[in-house]
Structure 1
Amino acid sequence: MIEQLKRVIKLLDNLSKLSSDNHSTFTRKELKTQFSNYDLSKMEKNNDIERSERGIYTLNDYLPDMFSIYQLKYQRGIYCLNTALYLLDFSDRYPDKLDMMFPQGYNTSKISTQISAHTQLSKYFDLGIIKVKTMNGNEVKTYSLERTLAEILRPQNHVDPDIVTNAYKKWANRKNKDIGELFLFAQKFKTINQVQSYLEVLL
C-alpha cells in the first residue's frame, strides 16, 4: 500500500513538472517521455488527465484550451484572420470557428468541423508566422498583426466589416505599428487600395 501511494505521488509530481513547462495541454508523445501506457491509463481513470482529442490530453483542473488542442492536432496549421485577431487582442469576438491556414495541397477534407480551413500558396504560407500564448499559457502559431490586417481585406475571406474597422482603429493608435510591413503584405495579397483607404481616414 505504501509503495503504491509513493508511485501515485511520483506520477502526480512528474505531471506537475511537465505542466509547468507545457501548461495544460499535451500530446501523447510528450506524456510518454514521462509515463508508461499503464500510468497514462491510470491517470485518465483517476481523472488527472482527460483525452480531448485523439492523442491529445488536458489536465482536468484546467478548462480545455481549444486553440492549443487544435494546434497540436493540426501542427501544420497557422491561426489566421478572425482567430488571429482574437489571439493578438485585436478583436474581442470569440470566433465561431477557429480559422486555420494550411499550405495549398494540404488535405483539409478530414479537418474538424470546429475549424474553418483556408489554404494559401506555399510561397506566402510561411510569411509572417509568430508565436503567441493563449489565456491558458499555451503557445500557438498565428500570423503577425500586419499580415492579418492585410489579409482580412481580401473579399474571399468574408471578414465582418465591423471587426476589420475596429482592428484598424486599434492598430492606428499603436506607437509601434509597422506601416512598411503592412504595405508589403497588402501588395502580396492585392489589398493595397483597401489598406490605403483605411489609412487615409485613420492616420
Structure 2
Amino acid sequence: MNILKEYIQENLIITNKEAEDLGYSRHNLSELTKSGQLERLRPGLYQLKGKVIDDFVLISSNSNRITFSHQTALYLHDLSDRTPNVFHISVPQGYNASHIKKRYEDLQVHYVKKVLYDIGMTEIKSPQGNFIPVYDMDRTICDIIIDSEKIDKQIFTEAIKIYFKSPNKNLRRLIKYSRLFKIEDEIRKYMEVLS
C-alpha cells in the first residue's frame, strides 16, 4: 500500500484507473476509504482524508476534454485579481457536458468548434498546487475579445491592460491565434493602443 499512498501524497488525488495502473484494485481503494485513510470525492475519485478539496481538479478530472477558459483562465494567469464565482470551462462542440453541469451549479460551459478546441491548450498549477488544463494567456485574450459583450467591462479592460504589460505575452502567437479565430483586426487595434 506504500506505493499507493506515496502516489496520492504526491498527486493529491487518485482515480480507479490510476490505482489499477499501480497494481491496486477498486477493492483496495474501498478498504482504505473504510479505514478512514482515503476520502471518496465522487465515484472513481479519491483523496487523502482531511485534505482541502481542489475544485479545479474535481471539475477537470471529469474528462480529458475539459479546459479552463475565459474569466477562470484570466484568474489562473493573474490577468484578473477577481476570484471567479463561476468556473468557466471549454469543451469541444458535440461534447455532452450534462453530467458535469448536474454536479456543479457554478459552471459556465463554452462549446468550441473541434478544429479550434486544442489551440493554446496548456497546463498550469491551481491555487492548491495541482496541474490543471487551461488555455494559455494568448488564447484567453482571444476568447475574452470574442465574448467581450458577455464579460464585465472592468474585468475585460483590466485583463487587456495587464496582458499587454506582461513579460509573458507572446504577440506573435496572439496574432497567429487571432487569424484562426478571425479577430485579427480587433487584436491589432488593441496592440496599436497598448503596445
Normalised by the length of structure 2, the TM-score is 0.85
Change (3 A) 1:123 1:157: farther
Give yes or no for contact 2:122–2:136 (8 Å, CA) kept in 1: yes
Shift in Å, 1:34: 4.8
Indicate the SS of the match to 2:79: coil
The aligned amino acid for 1:143 is Y
Shift in Å, 1:21: 3.6
The aligned amino acid for 1:145 is M
Structure 2: distance between partners of 1:137 and 1:117: 24
Give yes or no for contact 2:19–2:26 (8 Å, CA) kept in 1: no
Residue 168 of structure 1 corresponds to which residue in structure 2?
Answer: 160
Shift in Å, 1:80: 0.9
Residue 98 of structure 2 corresponds to which residue in structure 1?
Answer: 109
The answer to whether residue 49 in structure 2 is matched with residue 60 in structure 1 is yes
Q: How many pairs align?
A: 191
The aligned amino acid for 1:165 is T
Residue 86 of structure 1 corresponds to which residue in structure 2?
Answer: 75
Q: Work out the percentage of aligned pairs sharing the same amino acid.
A: 30
The unaligned stretches of length 5 or more in structure 2 are none
Change (3 A) 1:161 1:197: farther
Structure 2: distance between partners of 1:165 and 1:66: 27
Give yes or no for contact 2:67–2:135 (8 Å, CA) kept in 1: yes
The answer to whether residue 147 in structure 2 is matched with residue 155 in structure 1 is yes
Structure 1: distance between partners of 2:138 and 2:63: 24
Structure 1: distance between partners of 2:192 and 2:164: 11
Residue 127 of structure 1 corresponds to which residue in structure 2?
Answer: 119
Residue 26 of structure 1 corresponds to which residue in structure 2?
Answer: 14
Q: Which runs of 4+ in 1 moved over 4 A?
A: none
Give yes or no for contact 2:137–2:169 (8 Å, CA) kept in 1: no
Give yes or no for contact 1:150–1:185 (8 Å, CA) kept in 2: yes
The aligned amino acid for 1:18 is Y
The aligned amino acid for 1:102 is V
Give yes or no for contact 1:151–1:186 (8 Å, CA) kept in 2: no
Shift in Å, 1:18: 0.6
Structure 1: distance between partners of 2:192 and 2:112: 29
Change (3 A) 1:182 1:37: closer
Structure 2: distance between partners of 1:157 and 1:25: 37
